[in-house]
Amino acid sequence: MNFVNRFRDWDDVEEYEAGSIIYSEQDSADVMYLVLSGEVELTLRGESIGHEKKGGMLGEMAMISSATRNAQATAVRKTRLARLNKQQFKEVVAQDPEFSLQVMNVLANRLRAVDQFISTRQTKQA
């Protein structure tokens, strides 16, 4: 499901030029983002683990655990992101429970990508 329309008029929007780092591994994690336009590459230790385009989410783990970032997010081309802190996230989920299901789906897919990353690295080292 595409939630871009819900965030079209969102107050907290950030723009990044191509090549700009949105966040790096080990940065503090207290917000998540929804891609309104553009594309973001997620990398783990310099290796790509996925891309998020319009309607995609990144930094979603920050809504569950305020630890540090596990990956780096870099704008592939000019990108607009809606920024949500934990309170905003809770409000959106209360208004639209489907949104939380979408976040869980993203988390599950991200876990699969990291599992694949680990498996590939182990194969290369063997």
- What lies within 8 Å, CB to CB, of 63 at 6+ separation is 32, 84, 86, 89, 103
Residue 111, pLDDT score? 79
Residue 8, pLDDT score? 85
For the segment 26-71, what is each residue's pLDDT rounded down to a tens digit? 998 999 999 999 999 999 889 898 899 999 999 988 888 768 898 9
d(Cα 119, Cα 121) in Å, to the nearest integer?
5
Confidence of residue 126 (pLDDT cuts 50, 70, 90): low
For the segment 61-104, what is each residue's pLDDT rounded down to a tens digit? 888 876 889 899 999 999 999 999 999 999 998 998 888 888 88
Residue 13, pLDDT score? 96
Average confidence (pLDDT) over 102-122: 79
Average confidence (pLDDT) over 101-122: 79
d(Cα 92, Cα 58) in Å, to the nearest integer?
16
d(Cα 36, Cα 55) in Å, to the nearest integer?
6
